[in-house]
Each structure stands twice: as C-alpha cells, then as structure tokens.
C-alpha cells in the first residue's frame, strides 16, 4: 500500500516540477520575452498596402519683403521634379486658376539629382510690397513656347494678409497643384502580396484624354526619391482622362513599410525632361 501511495505522489509531483523549472520553464520565459520584443519592434514589412496619388511637384515657397531697400526675398523648397532638370520660373499677375502676365522673371531653377529645388531669389525694386491678392508663382516644365514646355508643374497663389508697407512682410505658401494638361491628376493604388508576387492595381483620373503615362515604384518617399525599384507598362487614359492598370511582379514576398513610393510621369519620351516630369506621387503605407 505504501508503494501505491508513493507512486501516486510521484505522478503528482513530476508535472509540477516540469512546469515550474528546468528547460521547459526557461522556454516559457523565452516565449514571453519574444512576444514583448515583437510589441517593441513591429514587423518592418507588409502584405497589403495603399497609396493615395496627389499632385507633384510639391513643397513650399516663402516670400519676405523688406521696406528699407524694397527687396523681395523668395525662398523655394520644392521636390518632385525630374532629376537634374531645369525650369523657368516667374511671378505672374492674376491667379493660377485664370492666368495672367509675367510680373517678375525669376530666371531658371535647377533641380538636383533627387528632383529637389532649394533656391533663394531676390528680385530688386519691389516698391509696393506683396499685394493682398493678385500674384501667383509658376515653375514651368521647360524653356519653350509650346503647350507642353509651358505647363506649370508647380503653381501657387501668393496671398498676403498684412499689406502694411511700414514694416517687413512675410508669407508662406504650400504648392499643391499645377496648371496645364494632366496637371490635375488624382488617383490611388493598392498593393498585395499573392503567392510571392506583388500585385498592384492603380487607377488615375483627370488626365489629358488619350495620354500615356509611365508609372514607377521608387525607393524612398515622394520627398526623398531614390532609385526605381519596379517599372510598369504605361497607363493609357481614355476619352474622359481615366486610366487603370494592373500588373504583378514575381519574386516579391513582402512590401517594405514606409520605404516605397509610386510615381506617375507626364509622358513616355523619357530622354526629354518635358515627358520625364513627375505629375503625381503617393507614399506607400499600410492598407486602411
């Protein structure tokens, strides 16, 4: 009988010892630690993602007028141009929506290898300061007289809430639009990993009817572009300016979080900056 009691006691104690210590107990602690690490360091890749496409180039323009010497300092910080491209720029009288004559010629702006323009221009002899309304700034596609060189890749109205000429005036304007064919484009795209393939579906609207536009997935966000990672067959707009494209890329098992952007270019003749100009861009982020 004592042997039976001893055996029963042994059967009760052995599971308790295994649960409370030994290698299995250490493994349980390791799993808890791993879960905590997962919370601290979330996965850096996605299986599904989304991009909202909006106008590019974009960025900001700051104007500062000084009454003592009648100088107007214009600081530009713009991104989303073709790499190493050059662009005539002007201040016009009127509004982006209606157009108007050139008020001040700002010369030629130069984009760097990432398509960014950071430049300061100081036109002299601006005697009356910055008007409340009636000025807009244009960055042109290229030098020339035809409709495509004169596209305003960036156009921004310059509104001034304080026109008092007895002290310094300063305004800041954000570039969100352009003017000309395909400059009002909008769109969105979805990205999904299926059987080690990246499947992308992009829809575009408000393009020039029957126009053709290359699309690229780039490394980096829209403001800090890197190399092209994937190129698409060009999207063809219909008579209403709408286009849809679906394309898959084999050998892709994950989408890097916050590391890609989708860009749409103006045309297919990429040896010319007139067509190589980006017109829409969207950062790729987790799907909603």
Pick the CATH number of 46-53+182-286 from 2.60.120.10, 1.10.599.10, 3.10.110.10, 2.60.40.200: 2.60.40.200
30 alpha carbon, distance to own chain's centre: 41
pLDDT score, position 257: 82
pLDDT score, position 7: 36
13 alpha carbon, distance to own chain's centre: 63
Task: Compute the Cα dihedral for 64, 65, 71, 72 and give only its sign.
Answer: positive
pLDDT(2) > 60: no
Q: Name the 3-class secondary structure at 191.
A: strand
pTM of the model: 0.81
pLDDT tens for 228-264 read 999 999 999 999 999 999 999 999 999 988 789 999 9
Closest CA to 245 of 262, 257, 258, 229: 262
Structure tokens at 260: 């890609």
Q: Name the 3-class secondary structure at 42.
A: coil
Neighbours of 18 (CB within 10 A): 12
pLDDT(9) > 90: no
| Mean pLDDT of the 82-92 span | 96
Helix (H) or strand (E) holding 188: strand 186-193
How is domain 58-179 classified at the architecture level of CATH?
A: Sandwich (2.60)
pLDDT tens for 15-65 read 333 333 333 333 333 233 333 333 344 446 889 999 999 999 999 999 999
pLDDT tens for 179-219 read 999 999 999 999 999 999 999 999 999 999 999 999 999 99
pLDDT score, position 44: 66
pLDDT score, position 45: 80
pLDDT tens for 52-65 read 999 999 999 999 99
Integer Cα distance of 201 and 191 in angstroms: 7
Match 């214009």 to its residue by tokens.
74
pLDDT score, position 6: 41
Q: How many CA atoms lie within 13 A of 282 on its CB side?
A: 21
- CATH 2.60.40.200 domain locations along the chain: 46-53+182-286, 58-179
pLDDT tens for 142-186 read 999 999 999 999 999 999 999 999 999 999 999 999 999 999 999
Q: Name the 3-class secondary structure at 11.
A: helix
pLDDT tens for 106-139 read 999 999 999 999 999 998 889 899 999 999 999 9
* The residue count for the chain: 288
């Amino acid at each position: 009988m004592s042997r039976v009691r001893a055996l029963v006691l042994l059967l009760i104690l052995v599971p308790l010892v295994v649960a409370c210590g030994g290698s299995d107990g250490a493994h349980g602690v390791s799993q808890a630690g791993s879960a905590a690490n997962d919370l601290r360091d979330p996965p850096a890749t996605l299986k599904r993602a989304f991009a909202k496409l909006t106008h590019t180039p974009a960025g900001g323009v700051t104007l500062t007028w000084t009454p003592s010497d009648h100088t107007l300092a214009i600081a530009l910080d713009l991104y989303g141009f073709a790499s190493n491209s050059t662009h005539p720029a002007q201040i016009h009288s009127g509004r982006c929506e209606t157009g108007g004559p050139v008020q001040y010629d700002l010369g030629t702006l130069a984009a760097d290898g990432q398509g960014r323009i950071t430049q300061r221009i100081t036109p002299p002899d601006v005697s009356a300061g910055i008007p409340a309304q009636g000025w807009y700034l244009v960055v042109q596609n290229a030098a020339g007289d035809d409709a495509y060189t004169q596209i305003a890749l960036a156009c921004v109205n310059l509104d001034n809430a304080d026109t008092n000429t007895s002290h310094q005036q300063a305004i800041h304007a954000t570039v969100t639009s352009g003017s000309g064919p395909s400059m009002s484009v909008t769109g969105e795209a979805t990205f999904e990993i299926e059987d080690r393939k990246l499947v992308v579906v992009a829809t575009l609207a408000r393009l020039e009817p029957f126009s053709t536009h290359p699309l690229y997935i780039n490394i980096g966000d829209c403001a800090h572009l890197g190399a092209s990672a994937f190129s698409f067959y060009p999207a063809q707009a219909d008579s209403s300016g709408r286009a849809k494209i679906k394309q898959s890329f084999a050998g892709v098992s994950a989408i890097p979080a916050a590391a890609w952007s989708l860009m749409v270019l103006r045309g297919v003749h990429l040896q010319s900056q007139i067509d190589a100009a980006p017109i829409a861009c969207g950062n790729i982020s987790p799907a909603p």
